[in-house]
Structure 1
Amino acid sequence: MRRTLFRAVPLCFIAMLTFPSVLLAEPKLFFANQYLQLGDVVLCRGKVAKVSSSGDALSLLLTDAGRQVVAIETAKHVGKDLALRLGGQVIMNVRVHEPITGGSFQIAGLSPNYSKRILAAVRISCPLPSQLPFALSRD
């Protein structure tokens, strides 16, 4: 009589043992392309202190660092359009009438899908410039 060296193991246990790197890497790969940008400014955890949702609008309260860079970026674009991008894709263009210097602003007219994605994007750690999957500079 032969002895078998293998025992029956539940399939889900085998999958967890076999694919842990895929399970761990997936969120990083998903979020790598989900940065929120206002012009050339990446709005992330280090620049956004608080986000609140109300209907189809999101209100963003910026940190001191976020307030400074948004004020500079919007001052450069007074009277011009400024792109709001999510994952490198333009989701809306906004006309800047005056610089945003108060440290808070609202994004209105968003679909529920974009609202959820933006809420997730502003919770991501701020990337180093070399980690961004898309170019931040424009001509």
Structure 2
Amino acid sequence: ADSGIWKKATQRTFNSVFSNLLDVGEGNYSEFHFGQEPAGNVGDYGAHFKAGPLDDDFFDREANILHLEFPMEFAEPPAAERLADFFARLVSIRAPDSGYCGYAFKHLFMTFTNEALEFIARRAMRY
């Protein structure tokens, strides 16, 4: 939201966000973030999108991402097959330059990134 608080992921919120994306002019930057309640919580699902022009001197190419978060159950059959089909459909629409899929530490992506990465770096080698 304009206040900096993440909006609850409702159909009304989705419609508003995607409508606003249609109004973003060529050469402009845009992003959205969806999380779960309560506000500021990691939750099991998340969607984060950031995009800008690829030839912009200010916004570099790594700013163009789609990051999706799913619960662990999606890594096991039959959900894993459905998830793989979902990503195959996405790639058929617009092929990415790169991508990854795997287990990850849960953190408030794009909210407390520096704090989360510092925390993860200290603990990652334990696992």
Work out whether the TM-score is over 0.5.
Answer: no
Larger Rg: 1
Where relative contact order (Cα < 8 A, 6+ residues apart) is larger, the structure is 1
Going by fraction, where is helix more abundant, 1 or 2? 2
Q: Pick the TM interval, shorter chain.
A: under 0.3
